[in-house]
Structure 1
Amino acid sequence: MIQIYLTIFNILIFLPLRCIYFCKWLSNLLHTKTNLSYFFAVNRNEAFNLGSDARLICSNKIWTKAVFVIWDIELKHKTCKISFNHEGQSSNSCNDGKSLQNSTDQSFLHIPNFSVNDVGVYKCESTYTGGNENYNITVGVTAPPVVSAWLERRGNKMVAVCRAERGIPAANISWSVTGNQSVTQQNNPDGVVTVESQLEVPEDIDRENLTCIVRHQLWERERTLAAVDAYAYNRA
């Protein structure tokens, strides 16, 4: 009988305490639900052509169902935020032309005249009826190079030069013949890259058929230039 009384006593004393701890834990969990969503952000990469008008989409949900959208933007030289909610309230601390816009069914971040200054990490939170989504988008820039090829007489040697200027990322240059060649790469402060390859033309090579081959990430096909006419330009 004493054992039964002790059991009832323990239940009456400790059960409320356990309930208090559990309820407190549950309350904290619900209170931090919004913050926890950041730990489940989806990472992805995007790249836009230099000078283009970029459209960055946070979620594929219909924008009319959105409760709010927040963009936290981390660039090389600054950070800023753009947001709006379903009540029509909005804020924009970027002050560089970026803006939130709506198409017929989606909300997107519009970045006009995309430049190297727009490269960075764009963090987006979209809350809509039924849930929310978080994305960390690493945004880069691409630019096709301007290519050229020519021959130069240097003493008793003939040197073929092939250049791919102001590309992002750097272009790759090769030649239709093997020989003594050197490659230099110039990284400009504005982020563009110029690559130049110089080939010492062997005496037994038919110069009429000497070409350089330029490959770049933006091109579906390689570009081939004949190195016979001085400064023969072939723009991308």
Structure 2
Amino acid sequence: MIYELDEMVLLVNGSTLVFLFLINSVQGINSTASSTGIRTTTTSLFIQFTDRRNEHYNVGGSVNMTCTNRTWSQILYTVWKLNISGIQCTIGAIGHMFENTCMDGKVLLSTSNGVSYLHIPLFKDTDEGIYKCETLSRGKSYKANINVSAIVSPQISTRLDYRDGRREAVCSAAGGRPAASVSWGDTWNSSETQTSTQNNGGSFTVESRFILPDSVSADNLTCVLTHPSWREARTATLQISYHREPTTVFSLKYIAFSVCSVILLCGFLTGCFIVRTSVRRWSNKIRRPKSHVYR
């Protein structure tokens, strides 16, 4: 197994002990003499490079992550430290000796020309986290802190809304990770507004809106969307068959329907009252007995 200390890496494989001292703080001194005195310069025995970057990968695909493009022949050791959802594990190699405490399918491999890479056979949401790698070659060391996050394709939708009696074109990209970019092919110099809302789980919903001029038809109106999960930009045509009715028109129809309903109801009740009254009168007239006159 591999134990990493501040100034050395210890590999225990059976009875074999290999010590690789990483003396990053030790410095050599070069002195040169001149007519004006002695000039002293210092140089490090190890030149260290540290890199910080963000990387995004598609959920469901395989991932190959490289710490550096140096080959195996140049590298003395490679170590990956993973912090995923608070769980830490290590994958490392010294020469032909390996150590893997992750035990979740991730392995350390190399290409045909000797470039080392971390292989994830099936990338999932749960693989998001901080990936730290370190390599040591002859005279140089390299470290990288990589923030790894998942890419999720957004759901695209378009619609035509009505606000204050005016048509408003809406293009939405919901549930994307990271947030998608949404724009319109042409807005006819109308003001365009865009909002981005973070959802539960870290996804984003992006909406782009603009007021459609009265003189412009909503037919074949398209918006343009880009996202890291797509190789090319996508377009979506405005769907006007599902648009909501203007509030003013809806209110007028509702009022007209209500008035007509009340009138019909009143007419029906009035008719029932008239019929009932007429039936009652005829019934009383038929039942009334004839009067006889006695002389």
TM range (shorter): 0.5 to 0.7
CA contact (8 A) 1:148 1:162 kept: yes
- In structure 2, stretches of 5+ residues that fail to align are 1-20, 27-44, 243-295
Q: In 1, Cα distance between the equivalents of 2:177 and 2:46?
A: 32
SS of structure 2 residue aligned to 1:207: coil
User: CA 1:133/1:39 → structure 2, altered by over 3 Å: closer, same or farther?
Assistant: closer
Is 1:42 the counterpart of 2:50 in the alignment?
A: yes
CA contact (8 A) 2:131 2:148 kept: no
What is aligned with 1:27?
none
Task: Give the C-alpha shift of residue 181 in structure 1.
Answer: 5.6
Q: In 2, Cα distance between the equivalents of 1:33 and 1:73?
A: 24
RMSD: 3.5
Q: Residues 52-79 of structure 1, C-alpha deviation per residue, up to 9 Å, x if partnerless?
A: 3111112333325544321122345332
Q: In 2, Cα distance between the equivalents of 1:107 and 1:158?
A: 56
Q: In 1, Cα distance between the equivalents of 2:181 and 2:69?
A: 36
What is aligned with 1:11?
none
Task: Give the C-alpha shift of residue 162 in structure 1.
Answer: 0.9
User: CA 1:230/1:216 → structure 2, altered by over 3 Å: closer, same or farther?
Assistant: farther
Q: Residues 163-219 of structure 1, C-alpha deviation per residue, up to 9 Å, x if partnerless?
A: 112323212323322546654433233322121234443322221253323244566
What is aligned with 2:86?
77
TM-score, structure 1 length as denominator?
Answer: 0.66
1:191 to 183, 202, 208: 202
Q: Which amino acid aligns with 2:23?
A: K
Q: Which amino acid aligns with 1:210?
A: L
Q: In terms of mean alpha carbon deviation, does 177-186 or 195-204 score higher?
A: 177-186
Q: In 2, Cα distance between the equivalents of 1:102 and 1:95?
A: 19
Task: Give the C-alpha shift of residue 132 in structure 1.
Answer: 4.5
Q: In 2, Cα distance between the equivalents of 1:32 and 1:174?
A: 52
Is 1:33 the counterpart of 2:44 in the alignment?
A: no
Q: Which amino acid aligns with 1:57?
A: T
Q: In 1, Cα distance between the equivalents of 2:200 and 2:105?
A: 22
Whose relative contact order is higher, 1 or 2, with alpha carbons under 8 Å and at least 6 apart? Answer: 1
Q: Across the two proteins, how many residue pairs are aligned to each other?
A: 200
SS of structure 2 residue aligned to 1:136: strand
Q: Which amino acid aligns with 2:221?
A: L
Which structure has the highest helix share of the two?
Answer: 1
Q: Which amino acid aligns with 2:224?
A: I
When Rg is computed on C-alpha atoms for both structures, the one with the higher figure is 2
SS of structure 1 residue aligned to 2:123: coil
User: CA 1:226/1:38 → structure 2, altered by over 3 Å: closer, same or farther?
Assistant: farther
Q: Which amino acid aligns with 2:87?
A: K
Task: Please show how residues 1-236 of structure 1 align to structure 2 within 5 Å.
Answer: 33=23, 40-51=48-59, 52-63=61-72, 66-88=75-97, 90-104=98-112, 105-128=114-137, 130-141=138-149, 142-152=151-161, 157-175=166-184, 176-177=186-187, 178-179=189-190, 182-216=193-227, 222-230=233-241
Q: Which amino acid aligns with 2:90?
A: K
Q: Which amino acid aligns with 2:202?
A: G
- In structure 1, stretches of 5+ residues that fail to align are 1-30, 232-236
What is aligned with 1:4?
none
Q: In 2, Cα distance between the equivalents of 1:39 and 1:158?
A: 62
TM-score, structure 2 length as denominator?
Answer: 0.55
